[in-house]
C-alpha cells in the first residue's frame, strides 16, 4: 500500500460473494487512493458495521436478504444521510436508480460496469458531490438565519428612528422633547450603522485573498495599542493584566487585533458587580503562540458554549442581560481558523470565562 495516498474507509453492502470479490479486487488494484474496506451481506450486518465504524463512503446493493429494494433504499436514506453512498444496480433497475437519486443518494453503478476504472471514478465523484451538497445546505441554513436576523434586528432601530423623527416633527415647539427625540434617532442610527458594518466585515472576510497581507509582529505592542485605543479598556472598576507580550507571531495584524478586541469587549460587557479582572496571556509552544483572554465575569452556561460561535446566536440566560449582534464570535472563529488555529472557550457560570486560540510562531 502506498502510504502517501489518501486513505478511504469503505463499506460494501453486497450479499453476492462473487460481486464482493470483484469489488474488493478493483478497490485494491486501483492506484488513486488507499483502501480500508469492510463488507456486509445484510441490512442488519451493515447497521452493525456502521455503528462501530467511521466510513468515508458506502457501496450498497439493493437485493439483500429479508429486505425489498424499496425498503433498503428508504432504510439507509434515513439512517445514513451524511454518508456518500453509491447504489449497485442490475440491468433494468433504472426506476430504482432514479428513486435512489431522488432520496439523496450520490450515484449508481451497474454491476456489469464494475471495473478498475469505474470504481474510483464513481467513488471519488460521489464523495465530492456529497461534500458540495452539505456545503450548500449549510450555506442555505446561514442564509435563512440571516434573513430571520435582518427581519427582526434591523426593523427595530429603523422603527425607532421613524418614531423619533415623527415625535420631533410633532413636538417642534417643545425644544427639550425634540432634543430627546433626536438623540433617540441618532442612537438608533448608530446602532444600525454598527450592525451593518459587522455584517459587511463578516460577508467580505471569506474572500480568497483575505490573508494575503500577513506579517511577522510582536503580540506585546499590539496588546498595548488595543489597551490604549479602546474606550472600554479605561473603566475605573477593571484591572487588565498582560503576560508574555514579547511573543512574535505571523499573520494578519489587523484581523488578530479584531479578534482580541472582540474578546476583550465581551469580557467587559459581561462583567460582574465586583471589580472586573482580565488576563491577556501569550504563551510560546513548539511552533505556535497560544493567546488567551480570561475574565472573572458571569460565565457562560454549558448549553450555550457549543453554540456561541454560530452566526447570530446569542445566549439568553446569563445573569447580565446585554445586547449583541451574534456576529462577533462567529467572525473571530473564521479569522482564527483562516490562520490555521481553533478558537475555544472554557467557562463556568459565576466563575468567569477563558477564550484561547493559537497563531503560527514567527
Give pLDDT, residue 209.
45
Contacts 24+ apart (CB under 8 A), 38-41: 38/9, 38/10, 38/11, 38/12, 39/11, 39/12, 39/13, 39/14, 40/11, 40/12, 40/13, 40/14, 41/13, 41/14, 41/15, 41/65
Give pLDDT, residue 300.
81
Give pLDDT, residue 356.
92
- More confident call, 161 vs 22: 22
* CA–CA separation, 133 and 139 (whole Å): 10
Q: Which residues of 48-81 are buried (b: 16+ CB within 10 A; e: fewer)?
A: ebbeeeebbbbbbbbbbeebebeebbebbbeebe
Average pLDDT of the residues in 8-25: 92
Q: Which residues of 285-321 are buried (b: 16+ CB within 10 A; e: fewer)?
A: eeebbbbbbbbbbbbbbeebbeebbebbbbbeebeee
Contacts 24+ apart (CB under 8 A), 195-199: 195/153, 195/154, 195/157, 195/325, 198/325, 198/327, 198/328, 198/331, 199/325, 199/327
Q: Which of 74-78, 178-182, 346-350 has the lowest mean pLDDT?
A: 178-182
Give pLDDT, residue 321.
46
Helix H or strand E encompassing 139: helix 118-153
Query: Three-class SS of residue 56?
Result: coil
Query: Three-class SS of residue 101?
Result: helix
Domain boundaries, the chain: 7-133, 154-205, 215-360
Average pLDDT of the residues in 181-202: 66
% of the chain surpassing 90 pLDDT: 12
Cα dihedral 160, 162, 163, 167 sign: positive
- More confident call, 286 vs 28: 28
Confidence check: pLDDT of 248 > 90: no
Q: Which of 102-111, 210-219, 265-274 has the lowest mean pLDDT?
A: 210-219
CATH class of 215-360: alpha beta
Q: How confident is the model at residue 167 (pLDDT cuts 50, 70, 90)?
A: confident
DSSP structural state of residue 31: S
Confidence check: pLDDT of 270 > 80: no
The residues, ordered by sequence, that sit 6+ positions from 46 with a Cβ below 8 Å of its Cβ are 11, 13, 40, 58, 60, 76
Q: How confident is the model at residue 312 (pLDDT cuts 50, 70, 90)?
A: low
Give pLDDT, residue 207.
46
- The full DSSP string for 279-301 is EEEEEE-SSEEEEEEEE-SS---
User: Mean pLDDT for the chain?
Assistant: 79
Give pLDDT, residue 310.
74
% of the chain surpassing 70 pLDDT: 77
Q: How, if at all, do strands 248-251 and 276-284 pair?
A: unpaired
308 close to 318: Cβ distance less than 8 angstroms: no
Give pLDDT, residue 155.
67
Beta bridge partners of 293: 280, 355
Q: What are phi and psi of 67, to 5 degrees?
A: -150, 120
Average pLDDT of the residues in 321-332: 65
C-alpha cell at position 339: 490562520
Q: Can you tell me which residue has the cell 438623540? A: 183
Confidence check: pLDDT of 345 > 50: yes
72 close to 60: Cβ distance less than 8 angstroms: yes
- Given the candidates 3.20.20.210, 3.40.50.2300, 1.10.357.10, 3.30.10.20, the CATH classification of the domain at 7-133 is 3.40.50.2300
Confidence check: pLDDT of 359 > 60: yes
Amino acid at each position: 500500500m502506498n502510504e502517501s495516498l489518501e486513505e478511504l474507509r469503505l463499506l460494501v453492502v453486497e450479499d453476492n460473494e462473487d460481486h464482493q470479490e470483484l469489488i474488493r479486487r478493483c478497490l485494491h488494484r486501483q492506484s488513486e487512493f488507499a483502501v480500508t474496506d469492510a463488507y456486509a451481506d445484510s441490512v442488519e450486518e451493515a447497521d452493525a458495521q456502521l455503528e462501530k465504524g467511521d466510513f468515508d463512503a458506502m457501496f450498497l446493493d439493493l437485493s439483500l436478504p429479508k429486505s425489498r429494494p424499496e425498503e433498503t433504499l428508504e432504510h439507509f436514506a434515513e439512517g445514513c444521510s451524511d454518508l456518500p453512498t453509491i447504489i449497485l444496480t442490475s440491468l433494468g433497475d433504472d426506476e430504482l436508480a432514479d428513486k435512489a437519486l431522488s432520496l439523496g443518494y450520490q450515484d449508481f453503478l451497474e454491476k456489469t460496469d464494475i471495473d478498475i476504472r469505474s470504481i474510483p471514478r464513481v467513488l471519488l465523484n460521489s464523495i465530492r458531490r456529497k461534500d458540495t451538497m452539505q456545503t450548500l445546505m449549510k450555506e442555505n441554513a446561514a442564509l435563512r438565519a440571516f434573513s430571520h436576523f435582518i427581519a427582526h434586528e434591523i426593523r427595530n432601530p429603523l422603527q425607532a428612528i421613524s418614531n423619533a423623527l415623527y415625535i420631533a416633527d410633532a413636538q417642534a415647539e417643545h425644544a427639550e422633547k425634540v432634543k430627546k427625540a433626536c438623540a433617540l434617532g441618532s442612537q438608533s442610527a448608530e446602532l444600525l450603522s454598527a450592525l451593518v458594518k459587522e455584517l459587511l466585515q463578516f460577508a467580505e472576510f471569506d474572500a480568497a485573498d483575505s490573508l494575503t497581507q500577513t506579517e511577522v509582529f510582536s503580540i506585546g505592542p499590539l496588546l498595548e495599542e488595543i489597551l490604549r485605543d479602546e474606550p472600554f479598556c479605561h473603566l475605573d472598576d477593571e484591572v487588565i493584566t498582560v503576560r508574555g507580550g514579547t511573543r512574535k507571531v505571523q499573520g494578519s495584524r489587523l484581523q488578530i487585533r479584531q479578534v482580541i478586541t472582540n474578546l476583550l469587549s465581551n469580557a467587559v460587557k459581561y462583567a460582574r458587580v465586583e471589580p472586573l479582572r482580565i488576563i491577556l496571556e501569550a504563551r510560546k509552544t513548539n511552533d505556535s503562540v497560544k493567546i488567551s483572554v480570561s475574565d472573572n465575569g458571569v460565565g457562560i452556561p454549558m448549553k450555550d458554549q457549543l453554540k456561541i460561535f454560530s452566526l447570530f446566536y446569542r445566549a439568553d440566560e446569563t445573569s447580565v442581560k446585554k445586547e449583541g449582534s451574534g456576529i462577533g464570535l462567529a467572525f473571530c472563529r473564521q479569522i482564527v481558523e483562516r490562520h490555521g488555529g481553533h478558537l475555544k472557550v472554557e467557562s463556568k457560570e459565576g466563575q468567569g470565562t477563558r477564550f484561547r486560540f493559537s497563531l503560527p510562531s514567527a
